[in-house]
Amino acid sequence: MKSHISNRIKIPPGLWTGIRQLGIAVHDVARKAQLPLTIITEPEVTTAQYFAIWQAYSDLIGDTATGIIKLATVYETAKYPPAVLATYHARDYRDALNRMARYKQLCPPESLRISEEGVHCTIELEWLDNEQPVPPMLVGITLAFLLELGRRGTGQPLTACFVEFSHSMGDVQVLEAYFGCRVRTGAKYNRLTLHRRDLNRTFVSYNEELLEILTPVMDQSLDEQQRNRSMTETVKWILKRSLAGGRPDIHAIAKELGMSERTLQRRLTDENTSFKHLLTQARHELAREYLADPSLEIQEVAFLLGYEDQNSFYRAFRLWEGDTPSSWRTNI
């Protein structure tokens, strides 16, 4: 998805304000990140620069967990960009989270997948640029802000059910005290699991008039952004984030895009491709990416690509690369 893998990221002014409030000089952050001091006044940065800034903050604050909680709690709501600020004036926590997921498309480099099942609501964090390592500090801050959204919006000390991080996050006890639940590190995913009942809680900061002003503007920006994407890139991006543990069909993808299956097929035909071809491409590209990670077992790679068994993956990979996955991995 072109906009999602855009190399331009807007830095909210509140980030620098929050860092200053923690007693850290923003010039020190720029120097630690090996970036010019002018980066502080730049409205947009590259993905690499954005990650470098977060890593620099992490290095300067010391413990990752402590840095996450300090910044999440000191960050002023009023300093958020309009796309995020609007969520704080939503009708309830559910509305706020759905708005956050929708308008995150305007603010790379991450996206949110929200699912409700039983008594839980799970929010999975996905990074749209898989080529660069994401600082654990940024991962933690992003999930902490989602809980902070509910706490500030409802005015209640909400807690999570469970939090998962794929990397080490420093003092886990600090995180557990903040989230109010068990925190697991070394997990496969970065996820925040909430009590589903909390999603029905109304926001004390609900402002219908402000939403009526902000929503059409943001929807228009999102529509313009989406019109500039090719359907090919859009579908491939959705496929890549939907493959693990199953094989998404065209009906599911069309539903996520808010169009009929026939319309999606026509759009792809207009771009000289097909859903089947894009599924194959997505699997091939992800296979190379996963196999380059020695920590992933080949059986796990097959699962992440949506194959029912390892043999099916082997056959497909031989067609793509003329080699077995294990041999290809050895030779890269």
Quote the pLDDT of residue 56: 96
Let me know if 18 is exposed, middle or buried by CB neighbors in 10 A (0-12, 13-18, 19+).
Answer: buried
Q: Please check the confidence at residue 5 and state whether its pLDDT lies above 50.
A: no
**Using CA atoms, how far apart are residues 266 and 270, in angstroms rounded to an integer?**
6
User: Taking 60 as the threshold, does the pLDDT of residue 4 lie above it?
Assistant: no
- Low-confidence winner among 87-91, 112-116, 136-140, 246-250 (lowest mean pLDDT): 246-250
Q: Is the pLDDT score of 3 beyond 50? A: no
Residue 234 is predicted with a pLDDT of 81
Could you tell me where the beta strands, DSSP code E, fall in 128-218?
160-164, 182-184, 190-195
Residue type, 315: R
Residue 29 has pLDDT above 70, yes or no: yes
* Position 63 confidence tier, pLDDT thresholds 50, 70, 90: very high
pLDDT for res 222: 72
| Helices 64-74 + 47-61 axis angle, to 10 | 110
> Average pLDDT of 96-118?
84
Rounded to whole angstroms, what are the CA distances from 249 to 53, 224, 261, 271, 304?
39, 27, 10, 19, 16
Q: For residue 294, say if its preceding peptide bond is cis, omega within 30 degrees of 0.
A: no
Domains and CATH numbers, the chain: 65-208 (no CATH), 230-331 (1.10.10.60)
pLDDT at 44 over 90: no
**How confident is the model at residue 45, as a pLDDT?**
79
- Give the pLDDT of residue 221: 74
Q: Where does residue 258 fall: left (phi above 0), alpha (psi -120 to 50 degrees), or beta otherwise?
A: left
pLDDT band of residue 326 (cuts 50, 70, 90) is very high
Is the predicted pLDDT of residue 127 greater than 90, yes or no? Answer: no
**pLDDT for the residue 225:** 64
Q: Which residue has the higher pLDDT, 105 or 180?
A: 180
When the pLDDT of each residue in the chain is averaged and rounded to a whole number, the result is 87
pLDDT (0 to 100) of residue 1: 33
